[in-house]
Amino acid sequence: MTQELQTVDNVVCSFPLRGSQCHLLEESSIPTFVIDRQHHVIFWNRACESATGRAARDVVGTDRHWSPFYPAQRPVMADLILDGATAEEVSKHYGDLWRQSTVIPGAYESEGFFPNMGSGGTWFFFTASPLINAEGQTVGAIETLQDISARKRAEDALKTHQEDLEETVLQRTEELTRAHAELATKAAILQETNEELSQYAFVVSHDLRAPLRAVRNYADFLREELEEVLNDEQRSYFDGIANALKFGDELVSDLLDFSRVGGESLTVHPVPLDEFLSELENELELPPGAQLISSRGLPTVLAERTLLRQLFSNLVTNGLKFNHSAVRRVEIGLASLNNGCCELFVRDNGIGIAPRFHDRVFKMFKRLHTHKEFEGTGIGLAIVKKAAVKLGGSVRIESEVGSGSTFLVTLPTVERNGQR
């Protein structure tokens, strides 16, 4: 359009318009009108008639070229150009929507919405430039129009769409924030409930100890007093009471251990594993025919000693308990070391565990054997798992029935700079 405008500008270089020039503008598809020095319309082409809905015969010769655009008389861009209006004056009419043409010297261009034109109003982009005669005098002005309603509607639709999108993003963000807050509240409640449960388990198991001890004492007194008169069957009843009480005591003590692992505070210290495992071996007082072999040069882990002791003593005890080998052996060593973590193996030459039970055995009271086959409460591995997780690690099993078991324990190590 700018190119065509330039052509028009070049052609209309003198005033009044000559026949061929008029013809050229008449045929142009760009709505164009021209006013003379007295602001009278001297040209109004067919495209302009179509764009404005106003016939040339109704406008040419008058100064009513504003009438298709505005409800009351006011200057259009061509009038302002003709009068050499200052930027301030132009802004008074067109706000900040106008600018100097970068192509045609002295020409202004702008865009505006004309609510009374067309159905629902029309957006026009318009350019006005002065008409200069051979002597350099401004003798009129020419204005061209371009209907940009379709573009504006598309822009509006895009803007609405963008606003909708922003609104949706905002809503989703709010929903996410709400969900996050709800989750945090639920997590806090869950943690509180867990702590309460742990405390409950602690109190119950602790308080069970006294009546159990009392029953054992009274049973012992009774047996002592009746020892002379008891027959074999009655003796076996007393043995039954003693065994049941022993199991009750083990259960209480394991439950207490389990609830202690759940305690809220955790104070970790660097624990050199070489030294720790030597101490553990002494504490465990291994029975004859049992071996605990620990590798040397193991890393230093970041852990709480009590939890670490519970974890490894349960694994070692199980490895020796669920074992029919002539020399029952448990080995502890380093499987891998990376990214501030170490994986330790606890391997035994015992009866092994079928892969389908590898997850189940870590659950409370889950046992694969009867009490007659192997004594136990079914809490040991639950303690192992809880302790490993609490220490920021994990535990898993590699085992087959009949080929021993390997428990792999991951724990955080002390890195060279002393950080976790």
Q: What angle do helix axes 380-390 and 305-321 make, rounded to 10 degrees?
A: 150
Q: Which of 166, 189, 193 is nearest to 181 (CA)?
A: 189
Task: From 25-33, 74-82, 285-293, 378-386, give the range in contact with ligand ADP by CB under 6 A.
Answer: 378-386
Sign of CA dihedral 245, 248, 250, 253: negative
Q: Give the whole-angstrom CA distance, residue 381 versus residue 317.
A: 11
- The 3-state secondary structure of 104-159 reads CCCCEEEEEEECCCCCCCEEEEEEEEEEECCCCCEEEEEEEEEECHHHHHHHHHHH
Nearer Cβ to ligand ADP (377/413): 377
Shorter beta-carbon distance to ligand ADP: residue 69 or 258? 258
**What gap in Å lies between CA 129 and CA 109, rounded to an integer?**
9
Least distance (Å) from ligand ADP to the CB of residue 389?
15
Nearer to ligand ADP, 248 or 319 (CB): 319
Out of 68, 248, 350, 393, the residue judged to bind ligand ADP by CB under 6 A: 350
When asked if residue 319 is in the footprint of ligand ADP (CB under 6 A), the reply is yes
Q: Which residues pair with 43 in a beta bridge?
A: 34
Chosen residue from 46, 209, 213, 367 binding ligand ADP by CB under 6 A: 367
DSSP notation for 214-234: HHHHHHHHHHHHHTTT--HHH
259 in contact with ligand ADP (CB under 6 A):
no
Residue 260 binding ligand ADP, by CB under 6 A: no
Nearer to ligand ADP, 5 or 381 (CB): 381
The answer to whether residue 361 forms part of the interface with ligand ADP (CB under 6 A) is yes
How far is 256 from 196, CA to CA, in rounded Å? 14
Does 261 help bind ligand ADP (rule: CB under 6 A)?
no
Query: What residues pair up with 412 in beta bridges, in sequence order?
Result: 341
Element (H, E) at 102: none
- Pick the binder of ligand ADP from 380, 409, 410, 411 (CB under 6 A): 380
Among candidates 363, 344, 347, which has minimal Cα distance to 399?
347
376: contact with ligand ADP by CB under 6 A: yes
Contact 245, 212 (CB under 8 A): yes
248 forms part of the interface with ligand ADP (CB under 6 A): no
19 vs 105: CA distance, rounded Å: 26
Q: Which is nearer to ligand ADP, 312 or 322 (CB)?
A: 322
> Which residue among 348, 395, 409, 414 contacts ligand ADP (CB under 6 A)?
348
Least distance from C-beta 398 to ligand ADP, angstroms?
A: 11
Run of H or E residues at 301:
strand 300-303
Give the integer Cα–Cα distance in Å for 183 and 134.
82
CB of 195 to ligand ADP, least distance (A): 23
Stretch that binds ligand ADP, among 81-89, 376-384, 388-396, 412-420 (CB under 6 A): 376-384
Contact call for residue 353 and ligand ADP (CB under 6 A)? yes
Q: Of 144-152, 186-194, 228-236, 365-373, which segment contacts ligand ADP by CB under 6 A?
A: 365-373
Does 318 engage in binding with ligand ADP (CB under 6 A)?
A: yes
Q: How many residues bind ligand ADP (CB under 6 A)?
A: 21
For residues 94 and 407, which CB has a smaller minimum distance to ligand ADP in the complex? 407
Spatial strand order of the sheet with 138-147 comes to: 41-44, 32-36, 138-147, 122-132, 108-114, 99-100
- Nearest 5°: phi and psi at 167? -60, -45
Q: Which is nearer to ligand ADP, 26 or 250 (CB)?
A: 250
Backbone angles phi, psi at 41, to 5 degrees: -70, 125
Q: Which of 59, 303, 381, 388 is close enough to bind ligand ADP by CB under 6 A?
A: 381
Binding segment (CB under 6 A) for ligand ADP, from list 20-28, 170-178, 206-214, 350-358 = 350-358
Subset of 388-417 contacting ligand ADP (CB under 6 A): 405
Using CB under 6 A, which residues numbered 296 to 315 contact ligand ADP? 314
Q: Minimum Å distance from CB 251 to ligand ADP?
A: 10
Contact footprint for ligand ADP (CB under 6 A): 314, 318-319, 322, 348, 350-351, 353, 361, 366-369, 376-382, 405
